[in-house]
Amino acid sequence: MKKRGRGIACMWYPIGFTVAANPSAAVVKVNEDGTATLLTGTVETGQGSLTVLGQIAAEELGIATEDVHVVSADTDTTPMDTGAIASRTTYVTGNAVRLAAANAKDVLFGIAAGMLGVNADQLEARDRKIQVKGYPARHLPIGTVAHQAQVVRGEPPLGSASWNPPTVPMDPETGQGKPFNTYVYATQIAEVDVDDETGEVEVLRVVAAHDCGTPINPMLVEGQVQGGVSMGLGFALQEEILFDGAGRQLNPNLTNYIMPTSLDMPEVEVDIVDSYDPTGPFGAKGVGEPTLVPTAAAILNAIHDAVGVRITSLPATSEKVLAAIKAKRAAAKALTKPA
């Protein structure tokens, strides 16, 4: 018989390296038509990070996502980056990109100030225009200013910058210190059906509420969460590298190493928790790794809620769950048996 259960798990997770320096550098070049090119040494590994970095550069320059072309991942041409690791790209590389874009914007503001007859600190960049704060009627298209800067005045608008999260080393005896500059938080709730005749667990629904600071691109945040849930589901119920007694792997192939497919995926409902971190680019933190952190815990708590057994070793395979159910029944029987 199928028994339904629900389980909750929450987590915290840091952004960036543990104490160690993990800098990023970036270069932003504004072209003479007001579009821009961003150079970054990070790598697109499928998560959409280059899109997010382009959006950050665009926001700082007051232009649209499409206006920024991102060039990445060539050690001959792109600046140093610690890379796609530790959920750090949006936060650390994003801060470097924002600063580099701000430096390029300063060149534009210097030119625009003369053209608009105001001081540079009175200007803001919005909607592909450079305009006077509080008096947007006085403005110039960003392309006009960029053309003036590069072609007429001979000052190509370029900016470069780097950023590294500030940390404090941990005491070797007590571990006290500030290993990270910021953390994110999340909760996932899983609903499962457990078949108490076979031990099979079906995950029906996962509700995931994640903090990522400001979501630079909510669609990509949702994509990360959905991917993380699938990885967490495999960790909870299916995936396991097995070894023989001599230390050789028994199942190094996708026939015998079982991982989730689309048919195993539950309904995933993603909520982005309102949050703003003043140390991140436009308040952003990160979301990559945390998305799978609470999934297994939530599923295992749901199994406990459904059939009353606590599986303490992952993965909770059908065999393991069924054995635990049988052991529980046997124990209950032993208790009720007259002495």
Partner 1 sequence: MADEPKLGEQQATRVSEPLEAPALRVPALPPASPYPIETRVPKVRQQTPAVGQRATRPDGRLHGLGQTKYIADLTLPGMLHAKIKRAGIASARIKRIDTSAAEAMPGVMAVLTGREIPVNSFGPSFQDQPVLADDRVYHAGDGVAAVAAVTEQIAVEALDKIVVDYEPLPAVLDPLEALREDAFKVHAPNSNVYATKVIKRGDVEQALAGAYRVFEGRFTTQMVEHVPLEPHASIAEWDANGRVTIHTSLGRITLGRADVARTLQLPINRIRIVATVVGGNFGGKNEITQEPVLALLSKKTGRPVKGVYTRTEEFIASTTRHPFVMDYKTGVSRDGRLLARKVRLVLDGGAYCSWSETTLGKACILSGGPYNIEHLQLEAYAVYTNKTMTGAMRGFGAPQVCFAYESHMDDIAHALGIDPLDIRLLNGFEEGSASPTGQVLQSVVLKRSLEKAAERFGWKENDS
* Residues 15-74 contacting partner 1, CB under 8 A: 17-19, 41, 43-46, 48, 50-51, 54-56, 58-59, 62-66, 68, 72-74
CA angle in degrees (0–180, nearest 5) for 150-112-131: 130
When asked if residue 3 is in the footprint of partner 1 (CB under 8 A), the reply is no
When asked if residue 323 is in the footprint of partner 1 (CB under 8 A), the reply is no
When asked if residue 328 is in the footprint of partner 1 (CB under 8 A), the reply is no
Q: Cβ contacts of residue 113 below 8 Å, gap of 6+? A: 119, 120, 122, 123
End-to-end CA distance of the chain: 30
* Least Å from the CB of residue 250 to partner 1: 10
State which amino acid sits at residue 332. Answer: A
Residue tagged 């969460």 (tokens): 225
When asked if residue 104 is in the footprint of partner 1 (CB under 8 A), the reply is no
Contact letters (x/-) for partner 1, 269-308, by CB under 8 A?
A: x-x-xxxxxx---x--x--xxx-xxxxxxx-xx--x----
- Which position among 165, 228, 266, 286 is part of the footprint of partner 1 (CB under 8 A)? 228
* Least Å from the CB of residue 120 to partner 1: 21
When asked if residue 191 is in the footprint of partner 1 (CB under 8 A), the reply is yes
Contact letters (x/-) for partner 1, 130-169, by CB under 8 A?
A: ----------------------------------------
The CA distance from 130 to 14, in Å, is 37
Binding residues among 239-258 for partner 1 as defined by CB under 8 A: 239-241, 243, 245-249, 251-254, 257
Query: Among residues 195 and 211, whose Cβ is nearest to partner 1?
Result: 211
88's tokens: 């750090």
How many alpha carbons lie under 13 Å from residue 302 in its C-beta half-sphere?
32
**168 and 177 Cβ atoms separated by less than 8 Å:** yes
161's tokens: 């910058």
How many residues at the interface with partner 1, by CB under 8 A? Answer: 125
139's tokens: 């403005």
14's tokens: 């840091």
34's tokens: 């007001």
Q: Which stretch binds partner 1 (CB under 8 A): 115-123, 156-164, 313-321, 328-336?
A: 313-321
CB atoms within 10 A of CB 59: 20
Q: Which stretch binds partner 1 (CB under 8 A): 104-112, 151-159, 206-214, 323-331?
A: 206-214
Helix (H, G, I), strand (E, B) or coil at 241: coil
Q: Which of 32, 202, 289, 319 is catalytic?
A: 289
Name residue 150's beta-bridge partners: none
The CA distance from 220 to 206, in Å, is 18
* Least Å from the CB of residue 19 to partner 1: 8
- Which position among 31, 83, 147, 318 is part of the footprint of partner 1 (CB under 8 A)? 83
Active site residue 124: no
Catalytic amino acids?
A: 289
